[in-house]
Amino acid sequence: MDGFFSRLSQEQKNKKSYLCVGLDPHLDRLPGQWKGDAAGVVPFLKEIIDQTQEFACCYKPQIAYFAAYGLEQQLAQVISYLKAQYPSCPVILDAKRNDIGATAEMYAQEAFKRYQADAITVNPYMGGDTVEPYTRFTDKGVFVLCRTSNDGAKELQNLTVGDGQPLYSFVAERALKGWNKNKNVGLVVGATAIKELRKIRDRFPEAWFLVPGVGAQGGDLKAVIEYGRRVDGEGGLIINSSRGILYAGDGDDFGTKAREEAARLQAEMAPSF
Amino acid sequence: MDGFFSRLSQEQKNKKSYLCVGLDPHLDRLPGQWKGDAAGVVPFLKEIIDQTQEFACCYKPQIAYFAAYGLEQQLAQVISYLKAQYPSCPVILDAKRNDIGATAEMYAQEAFKRYQADAITVNPYMGGDTVEPYTRFTDKGVFVLCRTSNDGAKELQNLTVGDGQPLYSFVAERALKGWNKNKNVGLVVGATAIKELRKIRDRFPEAWFLVPGVGAQGGDLKAVIEYGRRVDGEGGLIINSSRGILYAGDGDDFGTKAREEAARLQAEMAPSF
């Protein structure tokens, strides 16, 4: 099987899209009759997926939204549905896991074996030996948090470290050089950190970035495309929108509203392919 | 209700123990007839709890070992059992969670509402705004990863940052000063990093440390007690052993072997009370 990034790149070219649809089902925001009802999660997300799949190169379920409500079975159902209906469209499990090696192996099993995810997000704070249990799955993708999209991200990530670069930049270097022997490591870089995104792209012209923070968090889509994509046309960029698509409508029209929003985002991306 | 640290301190004084028993049920290491059998997890852990409770001031289930096998219900059962049988003995959910605020709220719900844990471990890389959704539960404890016990911990955590101190030390400062307005934040500091543990204790004489890494990981128990505890006799120290207790025996004697190991550890701790 081709590596994760090869498969993703093919899907991006086919759809002329960097769009990742984030699946963050907040029960209180489910539309219409499903509001507050856990039984609405699977039909809601299936409809979102069906409506957006023409425009999305991948999907990213956020495990916290399922775990908070005890909806592990529903998460498994949603991923199974994606794999059955749209097998060329990868699934990134947004879990931001990290722990010592023996425990990281358990988290890797959770993501890659239990849920059959194609990729996972992980946290770098504990060091490269805690990332290796994921990267050893050579056909899976591993996105290391580098510069996140939240307001407080700078507090640690923009600290200047020993050799004079910011911590996020040190992490980018370690992740893409030191931890990447299986060529399956990418970075998470927030759309709200365009300056940092641009610097990392300049240093690592072939790297893959998963970019959250457009839409509800206010990131600038045009700037992300301009500064985030690989200049060789091989993609290198995944732009996530969660709330902006999921909750584009809050009534019976939620599916068509989600479709319209996904189409709008993809239309902004298509010219760069 | 008293805060988490007050309750924990009382339990420590009553039992003259800093011992936390880590509940990491690896199916392949379950004893005797339960080996490889998920149905053995709950009875195995109940027996471990009953045998060790005389010597343990708290328990720390590691969620990855449950999540890998889809054993969320079993995790809930084990925590419910602890709360029903030994209500004065707190439960720390080892989850090392972290995400942006809206998602962190979901993880806090998972830990504190779904599982009824008394405390959680969290990762600091994303900054203080991602820790606040946990600390706002004022009766719960929040342990921030500071200097972890794994071999690769130094790769990021011992980097010198802007103001000349190592990153772990900067994290200690932010966590205990900046993020601790509800006085419910502690640190995770590995037993394999005695030098760092000592430095943090010198700077923060009243802080609480959760210290993994004695036993299977090779940390020195005597040194952890000497340099890790508060000198005012108010505890400040939680020493975790997981594999060293859980798998002290691998046959029908696993319970008595676990008890013997817990008793041995507590006996080393008692003189400092």
User: What CA–CA distance (Å, rounded) separates A189 from A199?
Assistant: 11
Q: Are B24 and B68 in contact (CB under 8 A)?
A: no
Residue B1: pLDDT over 70? no
DSSP B21: E
pLDDT tier at A213, thresholds 50, 70, 90: confident
Tell me the domain boundaries of chain A. Answer: 4-272
For residues A207 and A147, what is the distance between their CA atoms, to the nearest angstrom? 14
Alpha-carbon distance of B135 to B102, in angstroms, equals: 14
pLDDT at residue number B117: 98
Quick one: tokens of A51? 């409506």
Task: Kindly report, residue by residue over A17-71, the tens digit of the pLDDT.
Answer: 999 999 999 999 999 999 999 999 999 999 999 999 999 999 999 999 999 999 9
- Chain A within 8 Å of B152 (Cβ-Cβ)? yes
The contacts of residue B142 (CB under 8 Å, 6+ apart) are B119, B120, B122, B131, B134, B135, B184, B185, B186
Q: Quote the CA–CA distance of A262 and A257 in Å, as a whole number.
A: 9
The two three-digit tokens of residue B98, written as one number: 């972290």
Which residue type sits at A257? K
Task: Tell me how long chain A is.
Answer: 273
Is residue A85 pLDDT above 60, yes or no?
Answer: yes
Give yes or no for A100 touching B (CB within 8 A): yes
Beta-carbon count within 10 A of B105 CB: 18
CA distance A95 to B80: 25
Mutate to test the interface with B, among A74, A93, A100, A242 (most CBs of B within 10 A): A100
Give B155 to chain A, closest Cα distance, Å. Answer: 5
Place of tokens 């298509």: A270
Chain A residues touching residue B169 (CB < 8 angstroms): none
By the CB < 8 Å criterion, does A101 face chain B? yes
The 10s digit of each residue's pLDDT in B119-174 is 999 999 999 999 999 999 999 999 999 999 999 999 999 999 988 999 999 999 99
Contact A150, B126 (CB under 8 A): yes
Between A109, A113, A156, which is nearest B125 by CB? A156
Position A162 confidence tier, pLDDT thresholds 50, 70, 90: confident
Tell me the average pLDDT across B194-211.
97
Neighbours of A131 (CB within 10 A): 26
Predicted local distance difference test score (pLDDT) of residue B234: 86
Report pTM.
0.98
User: How far apart, in Å, are the Cα atoms of B186 and each of B62, B106, B123, B174, B261?
Assistant: 18, 21, 12, 11, 26
Determine, for residues B128 and A155 on separate chains, whether the beta-carbon distance falls below 8 Å: yes
Q: What is the pLDDT of residue B213?
A: 87
**A128 secondary structure, DSSP code:** G
Q: Does position A164 have pLDDT exceeding 70, yes or no?
A: yes
- Checking ipTM against 0.95, whether it exceeds it is yes
Percent of chain B with pLDDT over 70: 99
What average pLDDT does chain B have?
96
The model's pLDDT over A201-211, given as tens digits with 9 standing for 90+, comes to 999 999 999 99
Distance CA A115, CA B31 (A): 27
Q: What is the per-residue burial (b if ≥16 Cβ within 10 Å, else e) of A134-168?
A: bbebeebbbbbbbbbbbebbbbbbbbbbeeeebbb
Are the Cβ atoms of B72 and A69 closer than 8 angstroms?
Answer: no
Does residue A151 belong to the interface with chain B, where contact is any CB pair within 8 Å?
yes
Q: Is A222 a catalytic residue?
A: no
Q: What is the pLDDT of residue B197?
A: 97
SS3 B166: strand
pLDDT of B215 > 80? The answer is no
pLDDT at res. A234? 86
Rg of the Cα atoms in chain A: 18
Q: What is the dihedral of CA B153, B266, B2, B189, to 10 degrees?
A: -10
Q: Identify the CATH number of the domain defined by range B4-272.
A: 3.20.20.70
Q: Give the pLDDT of residue B248.
A: 96
Handedness of CA B150, A61, A57, A239 (dihedral sign): negative
Three-state DSSP class for residue A52: helix
Q: Confidence class of residue A218 from pLDDT cuts 50, 70 and 90?
A: confident
Residue B179: Cβ within 10 Å count: 26
**Residue A23, by phi and psi: left (phi above 0), alpha (psi -120 to 50) or beta?**
beta
| Residue A88: strand pairing partners | none
Q: CA-to-CA distance for A36 and B200, rounded, in angstroms? A: 45
